[in-house]
Amino acid sequence: MKETVLNKFKEVFGDTEGAKVFFAPGRVNLIGEHTDYNGGHVFPCALTIGTYGVARVRLDRKLRFFSMNFEHLGVIESSLDDLKPEKEAGWTNYPKGVMWAFGEKGFKVPSGLDILLNGNIPNGSGLSSSASVEVLTGFILREFFGFEVSNQDLALIGQFSENNYNGVNCGIMDQFAIAMGKKDHAIFLDTADLSFEYAPVKLENAKLVIACSNKKRGLGDSKYNERRSECEAALAKLQKVVDIKGLGDLSEEQFEEHKSVIGDLVKERRARHAVYENQRTIKAVAALKANDITQFGRLMNESHVSLRDDYEVTGAELDTLVEEAWKVEGVIGSRMTGAGFGGCTVSLVKDEAIDTFIKQVGEAYRKKIGYQADFYVVEIGDGPCIL
């Protein structure tokens, strides 16, 4: 891939003098969905697929962007003096947002850049291609301009830019998982205070298989922000009777005891998901530590049911992928991952069942949904790096 992106950079920008090659991973969340903005726990890991970038510093204020994933758009030009979100700027709003966010945090980007990107994360899949681009951009800026920021800072700046520049009310999980990734480990992160630990994911005779529904969804205009405000409304009601900062502070028992105060059945279901999903995530990490992969799989399944019935973010495509996965012998657990309404599922599948899984689930999906799903057998990888 390094040669491929360098050759393309040379073709697009004339030469490769002063250019460096970078990589930032995508991520998948194993369990703990829609808990990250509710002060709960998440359990994501970085993947070995992600975004490759070639970048070099310019002597002027000009920004030139090119994406091998959107070649038809050609080179998109901009300037450091004109960092504002624009619909027509398309994907470049993500790297530009990070440059703007660095400036807001007191790290003014001193000169322009030529940047070429090539991602092998399926587009619109919910494996965090946008957060991957954000962390990659931050990493590039730190490398070239010597900004004193940690990888954790890169995650926070990425989230700040997506919230305030791109207008997507995302939590911290995606950027954190990408910036802090560690090979063969998932990150058990408490989003309330950003305390975290690495938990080894030892999958003996099993692999993570991601199924991409190929149903596109846009985060900003999906019901994501709506779910957030429903949870905030439920939290406000609960806070009148119990001393909590977020829904993640509640045990299942506390929630059941006080839920009637919410006074709205839909908001009650949303809050129930946030509370129970957080507890499931804590139990899932304990199961992994005890090497009880069967229990981990069971909790993944329960997570999907909750996302389907209480949070209502799955839809026919994701439900079909998961329900068909559950029918295959050798599937330890399967659930939707990401924001929902399209995107991907993640399944734990025994090695000997992978081919059957892909064939059987793929055929059933095509028959029911009318187009095909794509499958990726993935590994857990490290965070951003220079290649």
Under the banding of pLDDT at 50, 70 and 90, the label for residue 220 is: very low
d(CA 143, CA 162): 21
Task: Give the range of the structural domain holding residue 155, as residue numbers without chain letter.
Answer: 2-201
The tens digit of pLDDT for each residue in 166-213 reads: 888 788 889 999 999 999 999 999 998 999 999 999 888 999 999 999
Of 306, 282, 308, give the one whose Cα is nearest residue 295.
282
Q: Is residue 326 part of a domain?
A: no
Amino acid of residue 96: K
The tens digit of pLDDT for each residue in 286-345 reads: 999 999 999 999 999 999 999 999 999 999 999 999 999 999 999 999 999 988 888 899
Residue 120 has pLDDT above 50, yes or no: yes
Sign of torsion over alpha carbons 355, 361, 366, 372 = negative
Name 6's Cβ contacts closer than 8 Å, sequence gap at least 6. Answer: 16, 19, 21, 54
Number of domains in the chain: 1
Q: Enter the pTM of the model.
A: 0.89
How many helices (H) and strands (E) the chain has is answered by 11, 13
Q: Is residue 13 part of a domain?
A: yes
Q: Is residue 184 part of a domain?
A: yes
Percent of the chain with pLDDT over 70: 97
Phi, psi values for residue 43, rounded to 5°:
-140, 70
Q: Is residue 155 part of a domain?
A: yes
Amino acid of residue 318: L
**65 or 222, which is more confident?**
65
Task: Give one word for 140, left, alpha or beta, with left for phi > 0 and alpha for psi -120 to 50.
Answer: alpha
Kindly state the greatest CA–CA separation across the chain. Answer: 66
Residues in a beta bridge with 66? 116
CA distances from 347 to 89, 208, 323 (A): 35, 6, 11
Domain holding 192: CATH number? 3.30.230.10
The full length of the chain comes to 387
Q: Is residue 123 part of a domain?
A: yes
Of 48, 27, 34, 35, give the one whose Cα is nearest residue 128.
27
d(CA 145, CA 108): 10
Amino acid of residue 179: A
Active site residues: 174
Q: Is residue 345 part of a domain?
A: no
**Residue 80 near residue 59, CB atoms below 8 Å:** no
d(CA 200, CA 22): 26
Q: Is residue 311 part of a domain?
A: no
Q: Is residue 83 part of a domain?
A: yes
Helix (H) or strand (E) holding 49: strand 44-57
